[in-house]
Amino acid sequence: MSAFAGSARDTASVPGADGDLLAALLDGMDAALCALDADGTVTHWNREAERILGWPAAEAVGRRGFDGWAARSADAGETLARVMAAMRTPGRQVHELALLRKDGGRVLVRSQSAGVRDADGRPAGVYCAFSEVHAQIDLERSIALSEALFDDAPWGVVLIDADLRPAVVNGCAAKAIGTGRTALLGRPLGDVVVRGAEELEGALQHVLAEGAPPAPADLWVTLAATPGSGERRRCWRSGFVRLSSPMTEEPVPLGVAWLFQDVTEERLAAREADRTRFRWSQLHRAGVAAAEYADPAEAVAVLLDFALAGFADHGLVDRVAGDRRLSRAVASPAGAPGADGLGGGFPQPYGPEHPALQAWDRAGSVRVDAGRDADGWAAARHWPAGTAHALCTALRSRGRTVGVLTFLRTAARGPFDRQDAVYAETVAARVAAALDAAPPPA
């Protein structure tokens, strides 16, 4: 008895569940399938084979070889020989075959053939699965692209499942996050992202529900501390692609492909450039405005008002009023609680270690920050309540110190850095020139 139970037509007519099941399996396959017995006669032909070549099973089953219908006469002998060779060769044989459609058109297919043996182990025929070459190439390209993204891509690539947990992580992404590729799998993003996780998860949820945004977006995140380094603030230029199953009639989201690049240095450089342009624009405007005032004290107040914009919350100008004594000349913003100090030309009650006096002694700048008790720290130095960061710089004119300029920030702003000190010293040079022109306090 042949190893093949019968044709697809015969199988469909076999009573009972076995025949129906076999027919359903053959017709439900994504690949075209035909089977031939030991004589080269077609015994099985499924619907995908009919779709590709146009020959229905009723016309294909029972034919011997491919001559005169599925292949040109010039190619039919070689085509049949290549397919039947799998009956005598172990494993699968892969070939590209030029077949003939029922309408006369030719189509190039890629086939995989394997031999079938009967119960006694003797060759009984072959089965041959095939698909159009371009469809096979598309599949191979998709697989190759997927493998390349996870092996060699210069971007971070993370596949996020529908529960918003990483399912696959490539090497670039693992390096950017600071963990191993497997360490992230199945873990909530909040385990590695200290700040910014809610924004990231919100973006992923949006993609799952609505689809990918029209353009990449910058996401600022703070990564959890790792051995040898503290928390890291990073900016990731991120793009998202929703993944849906191609195996269902209705799209079913499988997750999100998240691709990103670390652009922290570029964004910080751009931010610094914007900040620098704004500050020097403010200085230019301040100089033009101050030149319109005949009273040097008013010119100082104008310079201070312009300098505060985007830089600090309070500005104080203390003028030298004797041996290690400073008196308040200008405070900005005017009328702010605690900003005016004693005023009226009275010496400020600064202690010997006060940062303003340290700046005077050094003829330079001093940066200080509050500890946990910011209010007590500010009150002890006679600064407005809430002050957390201070920058004091000496006012130098004609080779001598004529006062001290102090900028103050609350905890809502970051501490002063070296670039801030450079800007403050530039403002101080202009303030010192105007202050030196003012008459000394009575």
Higher pLDDT, 308 or 342: 308
Condensed to tens digits (0 to 9), the pLDDT of residues 181-195 reads 888 888 888 888 889
Condensed to tens digits (0 to 9), the pLDDT of residues 150-169 reads 776 788 889 898 888 998 88
Mean pLDDT on 377-406 = 93
For residue 362, pLDDT beyond 70:
yes
Mean pLDDT on 338-350 = 66
pLDDT of residue 121: 83
pLDDT of residue 41: 94
Mean pLDDT on 195-200 = 90
For residue 342, pLDDT beyond 70:
no
Condensed to tens digits (0 to 9), the pLDDT of residues 10-24 reads 433 334 455 566 667
Sign of torsion over alpha carbons 10, 12, 16, 18: positive
Distance CA 163, CA 179 (A): 21
For residue 440, pLDDT beyond 90:
no
Distance CA 89, CA 93 (A): 8
Averaged pLDDT of the chain: 84
pLDDT of residue 365: 95
Mean pLDDT on 414-424 = 93
Contact 251, 395 (CB under 8 A): no
Strand partners, 268: none
Q: What confidence tier does 441 reach under pLDDT thresholds 50, 70, 90?
A: low
The single-letter DSSP state of residue 86 is: G
Q: What confidence tier does 297 reach under pLDDT thresholds 50, 70, 90?
A: confident
Contact 236, 221 (CB under 8 A): yes
pLDDT of residue 14: 37
pLDDT of residue 36: 93
Strand partners, 44: 35
Q: What confidence tier does 368 reach under pLDDT thresholds 50, 70, 90?
A: very high
Of 83-97, 323-337, 410-424, the least confident: 323-337
389 burial type by CB count under 10 A (0-12 exposed, 13-18 middle, 19+ buried): buried
Mean pLDDT on 42-60 = 91
Mean pLDDT on 20-39 = 79
pLDDT of residue 9: 39
For residue 179, pLDDT beyond 90:
no
Q: What is the pTM of this model?
A: 0.58
Mean pLDDT on 287-294 = 89
Which of 30, 35, 38, 7 lies closest to 127, judged by CA? 35
Mean pLDDT on 300-322 = 91
pLDDT of residue 243: 84
Distance CA 18, CA 8 (A): 13
Of 139-148, 189-198, 284-293, 374-383, the least confident: 139-148
Q: What is the CA radius of gyration of the chain?
A: 40
